[in-house]
Amino acid sequence: MICIRNTHLEDLHAGTVPITRTGDYSDVWVIDATGRKIPWFEAAHIDDVQMAGLMRDIINRLFTFHMKSDDPGFREDLDRWMAIAGKWDDPVLDQAFLE
Residue 5 has a pLDDT of: 76
Distances (CA, A) of 87 to 22, 24, 56, 58: 31, 28, 26, 21
pTM: 0.69
State the pLDDT at residue 22: 97
Instruction: List pLDDT tens digits, range 38-82.
Output: 999 999 988 999 999 999 999 999 999 899 989 998 888 888 877
54 near 9, Cβ under 8 Å?
yes
- CA dist 64 and 67 (Å) reads 5
